Structure 1
Amino acid sequence: MEKCKVKLRNVDIGKMMVNSEARLQARKIDHMVFREMVAKCIIQHGLPFAYVEYERVRLVWKYLNADVKFISRNTAATDVYKFYENEMENLKRELAHLPGRISFTSDLWTAITQEGYMCLTAHYVDRNWKLNNKIIAFCAFPPPHTGMHIAMEILQKWKDWGIEKKCSPSQYFHVRCTSHILNIIVQIELKDIEPTLHKIRESIKYVQASEKREILFAKCVEAKDDDDFDFGCVN
């Protein structure tokens, strides 16, 4: 404490503040680093490209550094795509020099717009014995969704990434999706009780068709015992 007092006596506080402000204003901004950080922000948080044109965002940037150069949404889109290409090239080199094999999982689904999509994920252990999961393809997948068509599409993605020689067809271990198999089993079994399910669904639709019916139904539930339940009160 005594040493601090001695130092403060010999220092002009006002001069310290002026020097600090001068250093802050003199700080140079690397515009390319700034653009890369903005691109990463857009990717990580799922922001629209128009984010860089928001008035309040630009005011914050201007406040932090008066020398900042604003960018347009088109520039932001270009930076994001450039970042994607760089990361893809880095991943290609990593996959090409892996000491072991690569496993893949594929997921196919149909959107509510009836458009088909496919996601292909690579699973591998790197040189540091760390398990990695990387999406190498996320694309539209038009019909037919046959086994042969799926296999040809996956093979083409392997060629695009230059990893088709990592293993031969005789070394593949094909494991079907357990969830898909269970879903098929459930769908087959549901066919036997389909008439009952239809009645239950129609009953629910009838009760939820108006607020009055929902209130009457709730009163029926409260009034009736579990052994003597009657839906007639909602008619």
Structure 2
Amino acid sequence: MSKQHIPALYQEKKLELKEELKATEHVAITMDSWTSNQNKEYLGITAHYFRVPDYKLQSKVLSNDDLNDDPTGENIGNALLAVLTEWEIMDKISAVVTDGAAVNGAAVRHIGLKDKHAYCVGHKLNLVVKDSIADYEPVVGKVRRIANFFHHSP
């Protein structure tokens, strides 16, 4: 039963989302690659847009697929292009937001969207904070141990 209903439901929802994307002028994309515990490379791609006619911000996952190949700029670019083509939104892309990995910049350049590429400010800020905290890690560790001592005291 689920082998028929789930794919049918997916196709129905996909068609609804395609219609929604057709009605909007601009779509921003976020993408990130990640590695599973089994060392498989995945690429997640999400679309962000204002839904017409109510103009509510929407974020929809378009793809979270196995890359199958090495995570090179060319391979990631080809995977991104395939998703944008499948969803018929290549001409609507207003931004492609990624972390600062060089491979992501290469991927976006590979498919001709270099002028639409932006780095995620949240990711950059996280890196700055991590680097800053590293200097204080010995102090933070001591504070944690003291807090744990008092937390576990009767």
TM-score by length of 1: 0.44
CA distance in 1, matches of 2:62, 2:29: 10
The answer for the alignment partner of 2:60 in structure 1 is 134
- Deviation of 1:78 (Å): 1.3
Superposed, which structure 2 residues align to 1:104-119 within 5 Å?
104-119=29-44
Give the number of aligned pairs. Answer: 128
Q: 2:117 aligns with which of 171, 174, 181?
A: 174
Q: 2:49 aligns with which of 124, 132, 152?
A: 124
In the TM superposition, what whole-angstrom CA distance separates every residue of 1:72-91 from its partner, at most 9, and x where no partner exists?
Answer: xxx12310110011110111
CA distance in 2, matches of 1:188, 1:148: 34
Residues 171 and 97 of structure 1: is their aligned pair in 2 closer, same or farther, counting only changes over 3 Å? Answer: farther
Q: Which amino acid aligns with 2:26?
A: R
The answer for the alignment partner of 1:34 in structure 2 is none
Superposed, which structure 2 residues align to 1:192-207 within 5 Å?
none
Q: 2:90 aligns with which of 160, 164, 171?
A: 164
CA distance in 2, matches of 1:103, 1:189: 32
CA distance in 2, matches of 1:112, 1:170: 31
The answer for the alignment partner of 1:147 in structure 2 is 73
The alignment yields a C-alpha RMSD, in angstroms, of: 3.6
Matched, 1:103 2:46: no
Secondary structure of 1:175's match? strand
CA distance in 2, matches of 1:94, 1:82: 19
CA distance in 2, matches of 1:152, 1:188: 36
The answer for the alignment partner of 1:69 in structure 2 is none
Q: Which amino acid aligns with 1:181?
A: K
- Deviation of 1:165 (Å): 2.4
CA distance in 2, matches of 1:149, 1:188: 34
The answer for the alignment partner of 2:9 in structure 1 is 83
Q: Is the CA contact 2:48–2:59 (under 8 Å) kept in the aligned structure 1?
A: yes
Greater mean deviation of Cα atoms: 158-167 or 78-87 = 158-167
CA distance in 2, matches of 1:164, 1:90: 18
The answer for the alignment partner of 1:3 in structure 2 is none
Unpaired runs of at least 5, structure 1: 1-74, 201-217, 223-235
Residues 110 and 179 of structure 1: is their aligned pair in 2 closer, same or farther, counting only changes over 3 Å? Answer: farther
The structure with the greater share of residues assigned to strand is 2
Q: Which amino acid aligns with 1:146?
A: T
In the TM superposition, what whole-angstrom CA distance separates every residue of 1:200-224 from its partner, at most 9, and x where no partner exists?
Answer: 8xxxxxxxxxxxxxxxxx7xxx9xx
Larger radius of gyration: 1
The answer for the alignment partner of 2:97 in structure 1 is none
